[in-house]
Amino acid sequence: MSPPEKQPERLFEFIIGPLSTPEGRTKRARTVNFGFYHDSVLKPIDPRPGEDIIVTARAGAGILLSSVVLIHLYPGQLLLIH
């Protein structure tokens, strides 16, 4: 008779921030499915002035967009609206 196989240790996921609660995860799921959002992630992560950037945004199935405006400022720049 062979010894029983040792079960691997379970690793638990540690989440901080809004996804750490059931309410936060529910809100995120609703936003993903029914809202308009972006993850505040630039590519490249730290662009230089004048360098092209990519910002990904998503609209849920229930959102009809006719246009989107993106304003990106580099540190130290000011946005002046007249």
Where along the chain do its domains lie? Answer: 12-77
Please list the pLDDT of the chain residue by residue as tens digits (82 residues).
Answer: 666 677 777 766 677 788 888 898 888 888 777 778 777 777 888 888 788 888 888 888 778 888 888 887 777 877 777 6
pTM: 0.47
User: CA 79: distance to chain centroid?
Assistant: 24
Please tell me the distance from the alpha carbon of residue 60 to that of residue 37, in angstroms, as a whole number. 9
What pLDDT is recorded for position 82?
Answer: 60
Q: Which residues contact 54 (CB under 8 A, 6 or more apart)?
A: 42, 43
